[in-house]
Amino acid sequence: MKIVITKLVFLIALLLNSQALAQIAPEDFVADFESGNAANVQQVGADSFTFEIRLDSGALEIYGWYYFAIVGNSGRTATLFLTNPDGWQNETCKPLFSNNNQHWERVADVWREGSMIGFRQYLGADTVWLAQGFPFTVTQMYAYLDTMGSSPHLQRETLGYSIHGRPIDMVTITEDDWPDERKKTVWLISRQHPMESSPTFLLKGLLDWVLEDPEFSPFWQKDVVLKVVPIVNVDGVAEGYSRHNVSGINLNRDWQEDIQAEQPEVRAVHQAIYDHLTSGHSIDFFMDLHAAPDNYDFGYRMSSVYTDSNYFQNQETFLYLLETHDPWQSRTRWRELDTSYALGVSCVTLYDMYDLDTYSSENPWTRREDNSFITAEGFYQQGPAWGRAIYDYLYPLTIYDTLDARIDSILPGEPFVPEVRDFDQRNKDSLVITAYCRESSDSELVILYREDDGGLFSPSHPVPTDESLGSPGDGTVSLVPWGELVVSYVDPDMPSRTCRRILEVDSTGSYIGGDANGDGLIDVADVTYLINYLFISGSAPDPLWVGDCNCDQVVDVADVMYLINYLFLGGSPPGC
């Protein structure tokens, strides 16, 4: 019995000794995966190591991205020291860890030790990943775009290739059945600086909202052409860089008038913008999405001394809408941008070359204004708020029915309620908009009155419509079934920023196309009625559109011939 106990004690001691000897080793640190970054791992004690951030090629700036794994040491606790933190990094910037490379938590035990940042983490899995921020790799982004490929409203194209041959992809989302010339174009780019992953999650939330939100997706897709380049610096993101491309160039200092002199990544995006504009299309809103070490959300808008006052105030409207929809935003924190900040910045160059409405956003790297830590889900949730702000900015005019439901079609006889939200007009008492139906040649001016201090204007009563010939200026908009009601708001300070709402006019079913005399029948009497109207100053069909037999939006002799062909030669029936 003593022999058995002695052997058992010996085996336990041997096991404990082997566990003590099986320490974490430098070779257990792995960073040779996508977006990985860690270098010069040195053991300084039992399960204790120093490491450093691998600097971008050709660049001396640090900025702080690291992302690595410790493999094969489940149950141990690693003590780590970052030897070359950037100036913004301190003990409050707690790193992230993950046991599956998907769900991330904050390292709790972090301290400052001289010039180094120390942190300690229990390894709860065979492989534990650690990172400065939430990784969002090129592979993850393109896999996400692959899942969206089945949408009929999305197109994906490759704009060009990086220095190391990776594709730079762009997605376009819009409703193809609605002509582009009736839409506004939004152009968003991100990840010129690889480590700034925060806005990538925001973009994902925005894209999902544009494609899937049951209330707003139909309006966005009908009214907007959305173009998104989610990762510009594909090499930098894939190869674990902080701020530069693989040539050591800060891409957001490389935008030039000579597109061919730019780095391949910038050139691919800039050329696409140039081609879009020179083919006769507009870009009505441009934003370059970034992240920064500041513990709050902010951004850059064009400087008041670099632009005219109307342009500057118009951008104030967008920032007001952004802070209205996104609780993390305050327009007072947005800073002014011009060439005194730096040369080659995307927003300034595109403003200088094309007079675009440009912005550059900055999400925080670590903490929010209330000192809470950022989360990937939090940025994702901001996406819809940004989509609402951009949409409301581009379309300050919205049409409602009398039950406060947004509408994009209308029946003759139904009143409608137009509203304008324009923050830079908030000090005015009233605005004037135009309601026009081309098919009835009726145009009415509608006065909107200020409702609040945020620049909301609405009419004193719903605007009436009918299905008669109409009389311009009588306050009632005459509509023709299958025609269009065009409601327009022209910004008093920037007439080039016109917002048009085009509503399809549905048929009430109470009138019959071709029934010119209104007796409920289509026969030779209608031919006679049209001839009398056209050539002998007889009464016009009421409403006029019933005489448009061939649906060319004009009542003339061609409609007489069309009706005769139908009645006597077996032609197609009249009516649109």
At 91-119, the pLDDT tens digits run 999 999 999 999 999 999 999 999 999 99
118-133 pLDDT, tens digit each: 999 999 999 999 999 9
Please check whether residue 10 lies inside any domain of the structure: no
Q: Measured in Å, how far apart are the chain's first and last C-alpha atoms?
A: 104
Count the domains in the chain. Answer: 4
357 and 403 fall within a common domain: no
Q: Is residue 409 part of a domain?
A: yes
Q: 312: helix, coil or strand?
A: helix
Element (H, E) at 490: strand 484-490
The letter for the amino acid at 7 is: K
Question: Which tokens belong to 265?
Answer: 């990544």
> How does pLDDT run across 426-455, given as a tens digit for each residue?
999 999 999 999 888 899 999 999 999 999
Residue in 542, 561, 539, 541 with CA at minimum distance from that of residue 550: 561
Is the predicted pLDDT of residue 178 greater than 60, yes or no? yes
Q: Tell me if the bond preceding 464 is cis, omega within 30° of 0.
A: no
Same domain membership, residue 260 and residue 164? yes
Domain assignment of residue 246, given as a range: 154-393
Q: How many CA atoms lie within 13 A of 519 on its CB side?
A: 9
| Whether residue 560 sits in one domain with residue 481 | no
Sign of the alpha-carbon dihedral angle for 528, 531, 533, 535: negative
- What's the mean per-residue pLDDT of the chain? 92
Final residue before a domain boundary, out of 368, 393, 418: 393
Residue 575 lies in a domain: no
Same domain, 260 and 382: yes
181 and 228: one domain?
yes
Do residues 414 and 556 both lie within one domain? Answer: no
13 part of a folded domain: no
Domain holding 488: CATH number? 2.60.40
Considering just the CA atoms, what is the radius of gyration of the chain in Å?
A: 32
What is the model's pLDDT at position 496? 78
Q: The domain spanning residue 111 has which CATH number?
A: 2.60.40.3120
Q: List C-alpha distances in Å: 497 to 310, 311, 383, 390, 423.
A: 11, 10, 25, 14, 14
| Spatial distance between the Cα atoms of 330 and 352, rounded to a whole number of angstroms | 27
Phi and psi at residue 461, to the nearest 5°: -155, 160
Element housing 525 (H / E): helix 524-535
In a domain, 476, yes or no: yes
The reply to whether 557 and 471 lie within a common domain is no
Does the residue 517 lie in any domain?
A: no
Q: Count Cα atoms within 13 angstroms, Cβ side, for 364.
A: 21
What DSSP string runs through 129-159?
A: EEESS----HHHHHHHHHHHTT-TTEEEEEE
The answer to whether the beta carbons of residues 170 and 227 sit under 8 Å apart is yes
Tokens of residue 523, six digits = 């026969």
Question: How far lies 564's CA from each of 135, 209, 514, in Å?
Answer: 71, 52, 11
Domain limit, last residue, from 350, 375, 393? 393
Residue 103 placed within a domain? yes
Tell me: pLDDT of 17 over 80. Answer: no
How far apart, in whole angstroms, are the C-alpha atoms of residue 474 and residue 459? 16
**Tens of pLDDT, residues 250-288:** 999 999 999 999 999 999 999 999 999 999 999 999 999
Contact 28, 70 (CB under 8 A): yes
Q: How confident is the model at residue 184 (pLDDT cuts 50, 70, 90)?
A: very high
Q: Based on the domain organization, do 95 and 177 belong to the same domain?
A: no
With a cut of 50, say whether residue 11 has pLDDT above it.
no
Q: For residue 254, what is the DSSP state?
A: -
pLDDT of residue 150: 84
Q: Show Cβ contacts of residue 75 under 8 Å, excluding neighbours closer than 6 positions.
A: 123, 124
**What pLDDT does residue 361 have?**
98
Q: Are 171 and 270 found together in one domain?
A: yes
Provide the pLDDT for residue 290.
98
Taking the C-alpha atoms of residue 390 and residue 94, their distance in angstroms, rounded to an integer, is: 33
DSSP for 395-452, please give it: --EEEE-TTS-B-SEE-TT--BEEEEE-GGGTT-SEEEEEEEETTTTEEEEEEEEE-S
Q: Taking CA 371 as the corner, what is the angle to CA 370 and CA 375, rounded to the nearest 5 degrees?
A: 100
Angle among Cα 532, 537, 543 to the nearest 5 degrees reads: 75
Tell me the pairing of strands 409-410 and 498-505. parallel
Strand 477-478 versus strand 358-364 pairing type: unpaired
Q: How confident is the model at residue 477 (pLDDT cuts 50, 70, 90)?
A: very high
pLDDT classification of 508: cutoffs 50, 70, 90: low
Among 377, 393, 409, give the residue marking a domain's end. 393
The one-character DSSP state at 546 is G
**Quick one: pLDDT at residue 10?**
42
**378 and 422 share a domain?**
no
Asked if 350 and 408 sit in the same domain, the reply is no
* Contact status, residue 339 vs residue 307, Cβ threshold 8 Å: no
Q: How far is CA 367 from the centre of its chain?
A: 23
DSSP-derived 3-state class of residue 344: coil
Backbone angles phi, psi at 225, to 5 degrees: -100, 110
Residues 357, 416 within the same domain: no
pLDDT attached to residue 128: 98
Residue 140 in any domain: the answer is no
Find the CATH number of the domain harbouring 366: 3.40.630.10
